[in-house]
Amino acid sequence: MSISDEFAFIKDIQPDRLFHAEKVVGIGDDAAIIGVEEGFEKIVCVDTMVEGVHFTRETMKPFDIGYKALAANISDVAAMGGYPLYYLVSITIPKSWTQEELKSIYDGMKSLGEQYEMDLIGGDTTSGKTMVLSVFVIGKVENSKRLLRSNARVGDVMFVSGTVGDAAGGLDILLHNKNADKFETLVESHQRPKPQVTLGRILSKFERVSLNDVSDGLASELLEIAEASQVDIFINKETIPISEDLQRYDADNALKWALTGGEDFELVGSIPETDWAKLEKECLIAGMKITKIGTVASGEGKAFIKSYNGAVQELKKEGYNHFNRG
């Protein structure tokens, strides 16, 4: 391990305060103890980033690696309509990483975690040949307010927040050293995605919502909802929200990245048509972009995209393989 003193390092990354001190026993014992108040259920999720698969040091600074690792998990909590509360970190450290770089990874997590008043309550450090960073997040959501993939029903409106494909475009810029200074928004979308916790909380107010976060690409997320709800989903090509920056950077690949790029961490889902106008209004008040992209129909768990000329093509569950791009 490249840390000179593991215990000193753990002490160095240990938070000097807890946002939820009355509900948690954190770092310092063999395990953490947490509490969630009556009327809430716990949300538990974990995400792992492996060097050479999910990031390289050429495309991500250590701070951004930590930031993004936590962001991926916060996004999962957002997709359930919940609040993120606590996180734990398991890290495998190769000798090639310096102590300063490792501290920067934790600083990235701390920076994002403080935005949501999250507490770091434990973890593990080991040595190995490849950097592996696993982040485990615990959140909460009100009883009976779970926003499940299986909640879609025939006649629902399909929607997606923000724009999609930007993260894949940003990665393409970084991998090929293309005009990073001209497309900073795309690069930032890849390195420091923004979890949509506020939107998740807005959606939790509605009676029935199906929801996914866009981690593996829009097509894959739509299919997961369709399969879980046993319905078919139809989206319109012309309504998929693609940013002007992505169109300017690479119009030929923009749609492919929007459908299969992933790691945008926007929210995609369905809501009864009778609730759509209210949701639009609430998002407008909150300053958030949300777009109707299609509808839910009876079926057996498939998703389709309609082109401008009326042609219909079935979508496949193919997430984007970032580091095998040819």
Annotated binding residues for ATP, written as ranges, equal 106, 123-124, 149, 215
DSSP alpha helix (H) spans, the chain:
6-13, 62-78, 99-115, 166-176, 184-191, 197-203, 218-229, 244-260, 273-286
**Strand 33-34 vs strand 24-25: parallel, antiparallel, or unpaired?**
antiparallel
- Binding site listing for Mg(2+): 30, 47, 76, 124, 213, 216
Instruction: Summarize the annotated binding site for substrate as residue ranges.
Output: 54, 263, 320
Query: Which stretch of DSSP H or E encloses residue 209?
Result: none
Residue 141's closest CA among 194, 199, 198, 78? 78
Which helix (H) or strand (E) is 21 found in, with range?
A: none
Q: 235, 294 in Cβ contact below 8 A? A: yes
State the chain's maximal CA–CA distance in angstroms: 64
Contact 217, 260 (CB under 8 A): yes
51-66: b (≥16 Cβ within 10 Å) or e: beebbeeebbebbbbb
Phi and psi (nearest 5°) for 194?
-110, 110
Distance in angstroms (rounded) separating the CA atoms of residues 120 and 123? 9
Burial classification of residue 313, based on how many CB atoms lie within 10 Å of its CB (0-12 exposed, 13-18 middle, 19 or more buried): exposed
Q: Write out the E strands in 21-174.
A: 24-25, 33-34, 40-50, 83-93, 119-127, 132-142, 157-161
Any idea what DSSP says for residue 51?
Answer: B
Contact residues for 121 (Cβ-Cβ < 8 A; gap 6+): 24, 26, 27, 32, 34, 86, 87, 88
Helix (H) or strand (E) holding 37: none
Binding residues, by number, are 30, 47, 54, 76, 106, 123-124, 149, 213, 215-216, 263, 320
